[in-house]
Amino acid sequence: MSRLGDLIKTERLRQRMTPKQVAKKCGVAESFIVDVESGRRIIADDLARRILKTIGLTQHTEADFSLDDIAATVDLNTTIAPRPVAAPKKEAPAAQDDGAVDGSIWLDALSSVLKRVPVKNAVMQEVDHRLLPILSGKIEGAAPEKVFYFVAPDESMRGFRIHQNDLCFIVPSQSPIDGAVMLVEFKERRALRKIKKLDHFQVLLQSYGREYEADTASINAVNFIGRCVRIEISL
């Protein structure tokens, strides 16, 4: 699925519309909408504009999105007409009236349903980002501004199928979750560990690199940052 298709499908579902309803309002076949959402069809500018209007995407700030983000979503060469450096009288509004899709429409539409989620390394510095859909005001059930990706720093969790440089999606949690892989701070080190609650006061911090290891720790001695709910692997 393309990011544009994901955007259209996410907003369509939020508006509780079926592909058939969107297709009927846009004057296209239902299979066309399905192909656009799945990324199998390259969408034309006029139909893109019609679909965006049909599903009711609202305009928001574009400050959180770079041109690289938008370039990954649509072809800027077809959505933004080149403008001269010196233009005493801008004719962009007239062009939009003729059916052209201005780049700000895509920026506004994206920011209404997507969030720029940071990718952080072991010292919690942002090294990259991902765009993720917001559903009912949340991402994976958490506040969008609280979630992030953590780059696995080593092979200490390979026995739990997490390898170095895999991206772990972290949802905030300040308490230990039995059986979960969590990002923790322990003995001045930040790492991913599988949690085993021993009682109300102690936990096992489990790793599995070349061999299984476990540290017994007081819950009060561990800073629980968040739970890893999924990973993106590097190929």
Arithmetic mean of pLDDT over the chain: 78
Mean pLDDT of the region 63-69: 43
Whether residues 122 and 207 share a domain: the answer is: yes
Q: What is the pLDDT of residue 44?
A: 64
Whether residues 104 and 140 share a domain: the answer is: no
Q: Which domain holds residue 167?
A: 116-232
Whether residues 129 and 224 share a domain: the answer is: yes
Domain holding 10: CATH number?
1.10.260.40
Whether residues 101 and 134 share a domain: the answer is: no
Has residue 135 got a pLDDT over 60? yes
Whether residues 82 and 145 share a domain: the answer is: no
**Over the stretch 88-125, which tens digit does the pLDDT of each residue have?**
555 544 444 444 444 555 545 555 578 899 999 999 99
- Which of 114, 135, 156 is the last residue before a domain boundary? 114
Q: How many domains does the chain have?
A: 2
Where is average pLDDT lowest: 68-82, 91-105, 113-127, 149-163? 68-82
Q: What is the pLDDT of residue 154?
A: 94
Has residue 83 got a pLDDT over 80? no
What string of H, E and C letters represents the secondary structure of the chain?
Answer: CCHHHHHHHHHHHHCCCCHHHHHHHHCCCHHHHHHHHHCCCCCCHHHHHHHHHHHCCCCCCCCCCCHHHHHCCCCHHHHCCCCCCCCCCCCHHHHHHCCCCCHHHHHHHHHHHEEEEEEECCCCCEEEEEEEECECCEECCECCCCCEEEECCCCCCHHHCCCCCCEEEEEECCCCCCCCEEEEEECCEEEEEEEEECCCCEEEEEEECCCEEEEEEEHHHCEEEEEEEEEECCC
**Over the stretch 213-228, which tens digit does the pLDDT of each residue have?**
999 999 999 999 999 9
Whether residues 90 and 151 share a domain: the answer is: no
pTM of this structure: 0.56
Whether residues 163 and 144 share a domain: the answer is: yes
Q: What is the pLDDT of residue 73?
A: 46
Q: What is the pLDDT of residue 112?
A: 56
**Over the stretch 24-65, which tens digit does the pLDDT of each residue have?**
888 888 888 888 888 787 776 666 777 877 777 654 333 444
Q: What is the pLDDT of residue 196?
A: 96
Q: What is the pLDDT of residue 2?
A: 59
